[in-house]
């Protein structure tokens, strides 16, 4: 896949090759940065690209910046405007996008440094992989999810991702696609970069938000869609042994969308293929993201329609 033409860095759109950060920055030295991953969904019939739940991602980005005590907070309006400008500058049409927005400490110094803050945005085309249909295998990791009173997953801090990276490397090294992390209480938490659901006796279940997980926007979307399907989920602790009892399981997240989990620790989940509730939910999720169902227009921010309206003014 070739690189896009432009990135956004510190108040301007620059050629991809110029999107660099200094080695003396706290972001480089300590991972002192926070980010959001956002999806753009292409709808061919409408000739439109939609950013999915942009406002919710921007709210979380503000929370993460405040949590890190940044001396400057990038506002939702500013970041949204710059994201739209970047996507339009790159001329993205015809393929779904993955957008990364990072507010980082560009200042040097020690661990107490709180600024100056920079903003980087990248947008890249990303097609779905066949595993979205066939499902993935997961290993229950021997790495523990970092507890909230050590390094909270609730804040989307770059350095947090070393925990998921260790679990991913172990899982992939052992022949699995990815990992499931347990928290400090030994209960199921989430995947390295996605939340997790099981279905038992027809009932969808997901760990509650005090399980050392990210307060995922997709998780919340899934909870709402399941309720609208007449299959409301429960939020509670999931024991490790329930992973064997489950008839269906799936991951969810901006990047993972709704991905079936078909094997856990080498045991098939249910029949070893994507289950009926997972499949129905996945279809509904795609319809909402792409805008083909018309439901939940409040979750879709059009990119090109707004541009056409601007040009006509
Ligand atoms: N958990 C973690 C640790 C993540 O990094 C992500 C991806 N942002 C998720 C869950 C899913 O969150 P969201 O649905 O907001 O993308």
Per-residue confidence (pLDDT) for residue 293, from 0 to 100: 87
DSSP 71: S
Q: What integer pLDDT is reported at residue 2 of this predicted model?
A: 85
Mean pLDDT to the nearest integer, 215-232: 98
CB 157 within 8 A of CB 34: yes
- Domain-embedded: residue 294: no
Residues 6+ apart with CB under 8 A from 174: 139
Measured from the Cα of 195, ligand 1's closest atom is 10
Regarding whether 254 and 159 lie in a shared domain, the answer is yes
Same domain, 116 and 28: yes
Is the same domain home to 118 and 189? Answer: no
Check if the beta carbon of residue 120 is closer than 8 Å to that of residue 13: no
Q: Which stretches of the chain are DSSP H helices?
A: 26-30, 54-67, 76-90, 131-134, 161-173, 217-228, 242-245, 276-290, 304-312
Residue 124: pLDDT band by 50, 70, 90 thresholds? very high
Tokens 């079936």 map to which residue? 260
CA distance 218 to 224: 10
What's the whole-number mean pLDDT along residues 21-35?
97
288 in any annotated domain: no
Q: What span, in angstroms and rounded, lies between the C-alpha atoms of 10 and 242?
A: 47
Share of the chain above pLDDT 70, in %: 97
- Say if residue 309's pLDDT is above 90: no
Give residue for tokens 């509650």.
Answer: 208
Q: How confident is the model at residue 311 (pLDDT cuts 50, 70, 90)?
A: low
* Same structural domain, 27 and 50: yes
Domain interval for residue 223: 131-274
Q: Based on the domain organization, do 55 and 157 belong to the same domain?
A: no
3-class SS of residue 196: strand
Centre of ligand 1 to C-alpha 216, Å, is 5
- pLDDT category at 310 given cuts 50, 70, 90 is low
Overall domain count for the chain: 2
Q: Indicate if ligand 1 lies below 6 Å from the C-beta of 278.
A: no
User: What are 222's two structure tokens?
Assistant: 């899934």
Q: Which residue has the tokens 């510190």?
A: 10
Model confidence pLDDT, tens digit, residues 224-273: 999 999 999 999 999 999 999 999 999 999 999 999 999 999 999 999 99
- For residues 98 and 221, state if they share a domain: no
Would you say residue 296 lies in a domain?
A: no
Same domain, 248 and 162: yes
Do 117 and 143 belong to one domain? no
Q: Quick check: CB of 183 below 6 Å from ligand 1?
A: no
Whether residues 147 and 238 share a domain: the answer is yes
Calpha distance 213→180 (Å, rounded): 12
- Tell me whether residue 100 is in a domain: yes
Residue-wise pLDDT tens digits, 178-191: 999 999 999 999 99
Q: What is the pTM of this model?
A: 0.97
The alpha carbon of 137 and the centre of ligand 1 are apart by a number of angstroms equal to 19
Query: Residue 312: pLDDT band by 50, 70, 90 thresholds?
Result: low
**CATH code (residue 247):** 3.20.10.10
Tell me: pLDDT of 307 over 80. Answer: no
Looking from the CA of residue 156, the nearest atom of ligand 1 is 5
Cα–Cα distance between 113 and 26 in angstroms, integer? 7
Query: Are 97 and 168 part of one and the same domain?
Result: no
In a domain, 237, yes or no: yes
CA distance 235 to 147: 19
Same domain, 198 and 263: yes
Q: For the domain that residue 48 is a member of, what is the CATH number?
A: 3.30.470.10
Domain-located, residue 97: yes
The answer to whether residue 303 scores a pLDDT higher than 60 is yes
Q: Is 193 in the pocket of ligand 1 (CB under 6 A)?
A: yes
pLDDT above 80 (res 203): yes
Residues 54 and 178 in one domain: no
Shortest CA distance to 262 belongs to which of 105, 131, 111? 131
Of 100, 125, 150, the position where a domain reaches its end is: 125
Is pLDDT above 70 for 75?
yes
For the chain, percent of residues with pLDDT exceeding 90: 96
Given a contact cutoff of 8 angstroms between Cβ atoms, the answer to whether 76 and 59 are in contact is yes
DSSP for 214-273, please give it. ---HHHHHHHHHHHHTT---EE----TTHHHH-SEEEEEETTTEEEEEEEETTEESTTSS
């Amino acid at each position: 896949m070739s690189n896009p033409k432009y990135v956004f860095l510190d108040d301007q759109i620059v050629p991809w090759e110029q999107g660099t950060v200094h080695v003396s920055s706290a972001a480089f030295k300590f991972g002192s940065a926070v980010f959001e991953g956002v999806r753009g969904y292409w709808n061919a019939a409408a000739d439109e690209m939609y950013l999915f739940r942009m406002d919710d991602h921007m709210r979380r980005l503000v929370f993460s910046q405040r949590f890190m005590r940044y001396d400057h907070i990038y506002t939702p309006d500013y970041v949204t405007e710059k994201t739209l400008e970047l996507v339009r500058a790159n001329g993205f049409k015809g393929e779904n996008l993955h957008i990364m927005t990072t507010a980082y400490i560009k200042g040097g110094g020690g661990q107490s440094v709180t600024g100056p803050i920079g903003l980087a945005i990248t947008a890249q085309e990303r097609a779905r992989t066949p595993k979205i249909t066939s499902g993935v295998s997961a290993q229950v990791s021997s790495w523990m999810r970092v507890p909230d009173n050590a390094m909270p997953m609730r804040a989307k801090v770059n350095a947090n991702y070393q925990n998921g990276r260790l679990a991913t490397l172990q899982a992939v090294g052992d022949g699995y696609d990815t990992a499931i992390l347990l928290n400090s209480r030994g209960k199921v938490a989430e995947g390295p970069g996605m939340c997790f659901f099981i279905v038992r006796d027809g009932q969808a279940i997901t760990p509650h938000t005090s399980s050392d997980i990210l307060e995922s926007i997709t998780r919340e979307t899934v909870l709402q869609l399941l309720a609208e399907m007449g299959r409301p989920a429960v939020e509670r602790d999931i024991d490790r042994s329930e992973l064997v009892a489950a008839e269906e399981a799936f991951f969810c997240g901006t990047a993972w969308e709704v991905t079936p989990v078909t094997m856990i620790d080498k045991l098939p989940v249910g029949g070893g293929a994507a289950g009926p509730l997972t499949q129905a939910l996945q279809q509904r999720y795609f319809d909402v993201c792409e805008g083909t169902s018309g439901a939940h227009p409040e979750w879709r921010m059009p990119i090109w329609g707004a541009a056409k309206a601007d040009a006509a003014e």
